[in-house]
A and B are shown apart, each in its own frame.
Chain A
Amino acid sequence: MRKEYGGTIAVDDVSFEVGRGEIFGIVGPNGAGKTTAVECLTGMRKPDGGRIEVLGLDPNRNGDELRRRIGVQLQQAALPDRLKVWEALDLYSSFYDSPTDWRELMDRWGLSEKRGAAFENLSGGQKQRLFVALALLNEPEIVFLDELTSGLDPQARRASWNLVREIRDAGRTVVLVTHFMDEAEMLCDRVAVIDEGRVIALDTPRKLIGNLEVESSLSFTAANGFDPASLRNLPGVMEASREGDLVVVSGSGSLLAPVAVELDRQGIQPDDLTMSRATLEDVFIFLTGRNVRD
């Protein structure tokens, strides 16, 4: 698909396919065109070019029919200030032919205590949970979640991740839009990495990370005199360097076993050993030369 706003290209060339029952991530920095892509997929906006098919429907021509079968949590949305939680759920239920029982959703998403609270008095996390509950009222075949965990504290974010897995386990397809790379890596079966309106990578997080030359690194401190050059010829090692006491070894695959064997052979006792794996964040940096939050 492709979408311009008065000369500014929001979505330049975005193509992907989402399989039934998967959690598909659309990731990338703010302003990459993620939200515009979701708006086109849900028929809220008309793309300038390309072809979109969702559940066999053209979102642009059969938008109403499509929106009966999907659920959408938007990054940017609100309810009337003085609308109460239960009233919102009850109202939105009336938009669908055979909605699920909203009381059950209210329980599941931890909103029962707030059932009589006005929208304006809810916390960010409570509003977010209410919007997810609203998106699930019609037992949708696909759920679009746009920046689900933005503005949530770390604890609430983790709780949300579990709830997203629950949605998928209930047999629904989830399209998760996020600028949090860790979130995409944790949750998504496959991700499309979008930057400046283009898909720059599309695969499972594991494969994307596996394609990096440097996918893991290992660091430790060693007493003076240790020469890291002796590690460079080990299998998988691409780089080994030393700064003061700290030795950093990077490469692909599991570096731990060969490095440990070599250190042991030399009689070196490594301290403060830490291993780190490359993340989706590193994939983005590798592909764009930029940090996601730059």
Chain B
Amino acid sequence: MKALYKMTVVEAKMFLREPMAVFFTLAFPVMALLLFGNLFGGYPVPGTDLRGIDLYVPAYTGMIIGTVGLIGLPTTLAAYRDKDVLRRLRATPLTSTTILGAHVLVNLAATTVGIALLLVVGKLAFDLKMPEAPFSVAAALAFASLSFFAVGFAMAGLLPTVRVTSAVGQIVFFPMLFLSGAALPLQTLPNSLRRISDFLPLTYVVELAQGLWIGEGWNWFAVAVLLGVLALSILVSAKTFRWE
């Protein structure tokens, strides 16, 4: 437990000393919120008493979860492996579970802080409507995060080097960001593109978060999809994890 605690603290420091990670996890989503919130956030959502901003914030949680899971975590882990950081750890009694556990905790914390910033800025700048079921929202976001972190572990295991891992992460993440509703409302996309959305896991993070946020309850189909992603990724990670 002492090792897991120290490892988590150290990894948190490493995260904070990595300007790119801090920017994309903490600053970029807030910037996007300020920009799009000012442009379109005030418009009412047809057929509801909501405004655009009330859907943007839960959607942007998907942006954070996606960037952490698909870029931050796999790149860090692959870099540790390629640079022989993991190799050094292997010569200690530390288990791989502790190492991976520390990475999960740190990324969960980073995601939580990123989402908290969205809430604070959303409330202060746009008088955001707070979630109807805050505990359900928190549980759903934690679950979605774990699912995406598992994808990150699987990527780090499957892909050969940190360069490839980082490239694939960006190639997967950025199109997914715009086609999943995590950056732009899906209604703004043409039908042909929206069909692609149905195949993107991030779409279900956004749907799950938005549904709970505005009080529509759990989207069980989204839960099932993310559960499938989680299970498959854990399986792949366990099979492909390597120390060097």
List A residues at the B interface (Cβ < 8 Å): 42, 44, 64-65, 67-68, 72, 74, 76-80, 82-83, 87, 90-92, 94-96, 131, 134
Within 8 A of A (CB), among B202-244: 243
Contact of A80 among B2, B85, B95 (CB under 8 A): B85
Interface string of B93-123 (1 = CB under 8 A from A): 1110000000000000000000000000000
List 19 A-B residue pairs with CB atoms under 8 Å apart, sorted by A's residue number: A44-B90, A64-B93, A74-B88, A76-B87, A77-B84, A77-B87, A78-B88, A79-B88, A80-B10, A83-B13, A83-B14, A90-B6, A91-B7, A91-B10, A94-B5, A95-B3, A95-B94, A96-B93, A134-B88
| Shortest Cβ gap from A131 to chain B (Å) | 8
Minimum CB–CB distance for B14 against chain A, Å: 5
Q: Dominant SS at the A interface?
A: loop
Interface positions, chain B 1-32, Cβ under 8 Å from A, are 2-3, 5-7, 10, 13-14, 17-18
The reply to whether A83 and B10 contact each other, CB–CB distance below 8 Å, is yes
A57 to chain B, nearest CB (A): 12
A90 to B88, CA, bound (A): 15
Residues of A within 8 A of B94 (CB): 95
The total of chain B residues at the interface (CB under 8 A) is: 23
Q: How far, in angstroms, from A76 to B2 measured CA to CA in the complex?
A: 27
* Minimum CB distance partner of B94 in chain A: A95
A-B pairs under 8 A by CB, number: 61
How far in angstroms is the closest Cβ of chain B from A90? 7
> Contacts of A77 on B, CB cut-off 8 Å?
84-85, 87-88, 91
> Is B80's CB within 8 Å of the partner chain A?
yes
| Contact A72 to B7, CB < 8 A, known contacts A80-B14, A94-B2 | no
